[in-house]
Structure 1
Amino acid sequence: MSAGDIDYGFTGYTPDLGGMTEAEIMGRGRIHDVIDHQTVVLMEGRVRKTGVLERLQAWRDEDALAFSIGGRPSLIAERAVMTALLLLAKEGSAMFVTNVRDLFMFRLSDASRELLGLEKSLEAFVGHVGEKNRWYANTIRAFQRMNDLMDPFPQERRHSKTYTEIQAILRAHDVDLEVKRKARLDEYTKLFLVMTYYEQPRNIRRASKKMDISFDQTYIGTPTVKGYSKKNLAKRVADEAKVEDMRTLKPGPVDAYAGWHVSTGPRTDVGRGQTDLTDPGKKTSSAEYRWGWEINIAVRVDSEAPGQKRFPALAVAATMSLPNVRVAEEAVSLMRATMAYDLAPGVADADKQYYANSLTERLHDPTFALGYTPSTDYRVDRLGHQGGDHGALYIEGGTYCPATPDPLKNATKELVSGSIDDETYEARIKERRAFRLHQKEKPDSKGRVVLRCPALGPSPTVTCPLREMLKTRKMLPAVDGEDLPDFADKICAQHSVSFDTARNRRTAQAFEYGSKQWDEFHTHARNSIESLNNQVKSGGTEHIESASRRRVRGFGAAQIIVTMLLTNFNLRKIAAFISDKIKDDAKKQVNGEPPVALVRRRDREFHNPYTDTYPPDVKRPTKPKRSDGDETGGPPRRT
């Protein structure tokens, strides 16, 4: 019998181990350190805090058959699997099922096993192979029980497929089941990320009363790298039909539900019911395409104090999707997920892939309906004057006077073309602000807002020949008579006009486009999401881009594991933020003593009857003991 044929589970055989120890062989060269019980308690408690255990049970009850003969109770609970995944993420280990199994077998104390509801593992060297196989089978079954409740694209994934089989899988797909399970999967991710947010101290969570976000997509790979294109799938199926012996075919794709991520060049956004025809084409251009999925992430940013780091930049929402498919709808899902926090919706920042290229009804309208206001850049063809109403002009998200000078209307166009420099552009944007219509009232429930001419009202910003009766002592920009419209529409003839905000919703923004405030926030927001993507993707602790550390196949399994990695990322960011704050506070101490808060002079030197405070060196007088009678001298109060 050769060494490779030795059955270490046979009790009658003792192998020659040479210089290797039994512990090394059982760990296949790795040392299994026991995890501190308090750490296990911490992670198990966080799993419970999410509320995901109750959701899993609700989904299981929803999917249960009306009649069932029952079965053997599971030996490993989903709670134990999620706790183990968090522990592996915390120490930066690969998210393999084998690592979860080894953690259950070798790395838990008796108290931790009891906490997670696990039986004691057989630690004897003799028979350890069969024991490891048994634990692996129970572990993967526990993971798949959880995955089966949420996987939107169930299919067999153990073997590669022919293109004929891929086509059959696509045709048998249940769209209604996909929608239901995709919602469950996104709910699972939301519950974990919300849990991390509430692990912050209250003062950090509420440094701002608004939830400002910046979102984007980032690529993650599949465990199997071979893909296909729906563009030529029918041709490949026809070619396979001509083959007599199917065993001669080369191995094909495994995951029918993944797609080509476009690394460079324009991207598409395919809606529901449409087909993504993205094709890598010739091999010379294949470096621009990668087979996998997209993780959509929203990071919390700060529109009130950009760059001041008042709170950690956490991933507050995340979903997973197929490349080039429903990009706008995934962004809406991110914004909807943030409704779970105790903050009001604020500003939603994104790059040109989103607001600049999406249809209004797919992204802009849902954004405003959720209470968010966009912040983004524009496409070149949407710069400058873009229509208007009641005589007013729509220019880059604002509503302006019809007599706005052409150099001001076309400032951004001329900057992009190189006709003017940045300094001139900033001056023109500042000057253009005076021609913007003044908002008289807040928008009503139907999205209508009352605006008036900038030459009217208590604080006019321009003078106009059509409003000559206006008298002001201010030196204001004047409307040139040559710029006046040939026909005075409502905005020039009436005191105020009601505008439908939906008509200018495509270009509406939280800040005046091109202004210093817009530039500071947009730069801060884009840097925040790009920094987060870089930290969780390339190397380091999470390394979500590469599938080499998560080998379980399938869409649902990938999002479950990425959720654990993003959860760990948030916890790391919170810990680092608090640590840095402690260091900064220590630096501010004077002679080893904490800084003394400044006291106002009136509190330092006088008695303040309003707050009933006395100077520090004055003893507070003793108040007379309150009697049982009321202040009017009436009878004693009843007890």
Structure 2
Amino acid sequence: MARHDRRIRLPQHEADLLATAWQDDDPDHIRKRDLLQDIVTALVLTPARWGKGRGYLAGFWRRRRHDTTAAPVFARPPRARRSTGELIASTEITAGWHHSAGNDPPEYGYSATLTVAARTRSVPGSFPQLALGLVLDTPGKRIGENAITTLKPLPTLGLPAAFAVVDRAYTDQQPGHFAQPARELGYRLALDYKVDQRGVQGSAHGALLIDGSLACPLMPDRLAQATTGLDDTAIRTPSDELTALINAREPYLLRLKQSPNTNGTVRFQCPAAGTSPSLTCPRFDRLHQREPNRPTAIDLTDTRQRAAHPAAKPRVLPPQPDHKTGELPRICHQHTITVRKGDLGHLDKFRQDLPYLSPAWIGTYKSVRANTEGLNGRVKGHDLDLRDPKNRLAHGRVAQSLLTALLITVANDHFLDQWRHTHQPQDQAVTPADTPQTPAGTFDRTPPAGQSRPPPAP
């Protein structure tokens, strides 16, 4: 990308000038960066394409988990010359300090953004745990954009898109860098938040944005502020009291009326509207002139009839006296509201598609996170250890990207092989007569005859 002698350490100001080639808008530099990424993507996806052609991804469920992990380099970090005090750069001019979320010390090198095919315990079927995308970049740079880069090639595999599960580093990205592009690709989001981001985050058309979900503006404050100020320990192991408060929020959440269109516009319905409201609201009845429900006889032994009766639903308590009609928010005047891409502004990065800490969120987020950490551990604990910079001694981001891609590709191939032997055992012994003859110098990837697997897709 930027040619220079990689055997010497340049003054920092010269190295910084060369490093700009990795982020400027020069057409030739963009072409080279795109070419490098295409090669990396092709390498990483090769085992996945092979596995899909053999039917190993038939049980694939639609979960993607994004994470960044350290790829340390053998080069030393920048330092000042003892004689002159001049700051000299590392031979890896675009490397930096990767800070992990835990208490581990920072590592000097690159950040590898990995997209992992993950599954939850509640989903039947099985498929191999694979890395489906890789981008190597300077730590802390283009976090959201790198995740989107790994998602864009996946439709070529024919794998469905549903949930993108990410940690707080991605939640903190500007909406245009991650959340909005991910939704445009067809993904729904499952997010986590920092301590100061939990609770009431903002509003749109009068509806409150509470932990990523739009809710009735008259939700009781005790429910709306249930997670405000809670630390990570309280969130990871919610108490019975917190669980009860989270469950009590559900009737107050706006319901999805219409999924996003091509412009990202979504329609939500007031929880007191419709033929099956989840709560009763005197304000809604007054504004929309809805007559009180007439008393009807119900079968008290019928669970569904009891749950559908208005007396069994939460009742919203507007202030007394209530605000004037012209002062009420739009969500109270209308049965539905339309939320467009820019209506929440920068707060759109917090919006997600599962109620935070609900059973559905926990079942998706925690299981997928465990899958991702498991893959990271396998990649770093493998014979080709991503954590050991001695396995990638060549200098330069191009060389480091290609070597890291080769490590992930080999790891994916091993994961596929291990999964095949565990989940697709041999039905019968393979005899020499059953083994197809292949020309010398070629490698036949066709599964043994005893497995009767389908041929690879063309």
Q: Same fold (TM over 0.5)?
A: yes
Q: Equivalents in 2 of 1:381, 1:485: separation in Å?
A: 31
Cα distance in 2 between the residues matched to 1:449 and 1:289: 41
How far the C-alpha of 1:380 sits from its partner, in A, is: 2.0
Aligned to 2:48: 197
SS at match of 1:360: coil
How many angstroms does 1:220 deviate by?
1.6
Query: Relative to total residues, which structure has the larger helix share, 1 or 2?
Result: 1
Number of aligned pairs? 394
* Equivalent residue letter for 2:8: S
Cα distance between partner residues in 1 of 2:100 and 2:257: 47
Q: Which runs of 5+ in 1 are unaligned?
A: 1-151, 242-250, 267-286, 587-639
Deviation digits for residues 107-160 of structure 1 (CA, Å, limit 9, x no counterpart): xxxxxxxxxxxxxxxxxxxxxxxxxxxxxxxxxxxxxxxxxxxxx343222x33
Spell out, residue by residue over 1:471-499, the C-alpha distance to the aligned partner (whole angstroms, 9 max, x if none). Answer: 27342111124489634333223333323
Aligned-partner SS, 2:170:
coil
Q: How does 1:149-548 map to 2 (within 5 A)?
A: 152-157=1-6, 159-163=7-11, 166-172=12-18, 174=21, 175=24, 176=26, 177-201=28-52, 203-208=55-60, 210=62, 212-224=63-75, 226-228=76-78, 239=85, 253-263=90-100, 288-302=105-119, 306=122, 310-355=126-171, 357-413=172-228, 415-416=230-231, 422-466=239-283, 467=285, 469-471=291-293, 473-474=309-310, 475-482=312-319, 486=323, 487-500=327-340, 502-504=342-344, 505-538=348-381, 540-548=382-390
Partner of 1:569: 411
- Counterpart of 1:260, as a letter, is W
Name the amino acid aligned to 2:282: P
| 2:212 partner amino acid | G
Change beyond 3 A, Cα 1:579–1:429: same
Distance in 2, matches of 1:580 and 1:265, equals 33
**How far did residue 470 of structure 1 move?**
5.0
Matched-pair contact (CA < 8 Å) for 1:312–1:573: yes
Q: 1:387 to 1:171 in 2, by over 3 A?
A: closer
- 1:292–1:484 CA distance, 2 compared to 1 (3 A): farther
Residue type of the partner of 1:527?
Answer: A
Q: Answer yes or no: is the 8 Å Cα contact 2:163–2:187 preserved in 1.
A: yes
Q: Show the counterpart of 1:87.
A: none
Contact 1:403-1:484 within 8 A present in 2 as well: no
1:294 maps to a residue whose letter is S
Structure-to-structure mapping, 1:548-587, within 5 angstroms: 548-583=390-425
What TM-score results when the alignment is normalised by the length of structure 2?
Answer: 0.77
Alpha-carbon deviation of 1:168? 2.8
Call closer, same or farther: CA 1:209–1:434 in 2, change over 3 Å: same
- What are the superposed Cα offsets for residues 243-286 of structure 1, whole Å, 9 maximum, x if unpaired? xxxxxxxx9743323222235789xxxxxxxxxxxxxxxxxxxx
Q: Deviations over 1:7-29 (max 9, x none)?
A: xxxxxxxxxxxxxxxxxxxxxxx
Q: Is this contact kept in 1: 2:216–2:271, CA < 8 A?
A: yes
Give distance in 1, aligned partners of 2:131 and 2:83. Answer: 42
CA RMSD of superposed structures (Å)? 3.2
Paired letter, 1:473? H
* Alpha-carbon offset, residue 565 of structure 1: 1.5
> Quick one: distance in 2 between partners of 1:518 and 1:584?
38
8 Å CA contact retained: 1:455, 1:462: yes
Task: Report the CA distance shift for 1:556/1:421 in structure 2 as closer, same or farther (over 3 A).
Answer: closer
> Whose Rg is larger?
1
Segments of 5+ residues of structure 2 without an aligned counterpart are: 294-307, 429-458
Residues 306, 524 of structure 1: 8 Å contact kept: no
The letter of the residue matching 1:335 is L
Over 3 Å counting, the alpha-carbon distance change for 1:433 and 1:585 in structure 2 is farther
Measured against aligned partners, the alpha-carbon deviations of 1:430-455 in whole angstroms (never above 9, x if no partner) come to: 22110112232233333333323211
State the Cα distance separating 1:217 from its structure 2 match.
1.2
C-alpha separation in 2, matches of 1:214 and 1:575? 22
Residue aligned with 1:353, SS: helix
Aligned-pair identity (%): 24
- Letter of the structure 2 residue corresponding to residue 507 of structure 1: F
Cα displacement string for residues 524-550 of structure 1 (whole angstroms, at most 9, x for unaligned residues): 121112111111123x32201212123
Q: Using a 3 Å threshold, how does the CA distance of structure 1 residues 253 and 478 change in structure 2: closer, same or farther?
A: closer
Offset, 1:330: 1.3
- 8 A Cα contact 2:198 2:229, kept in partner: no
TM-score normalised to the size of structure 1? Answer: 0.56
Change (3 A) 1:481 1:153: same
State the alpha-carbon separation in 1 of the partners of residues 321 and 263 from structure 2. 31
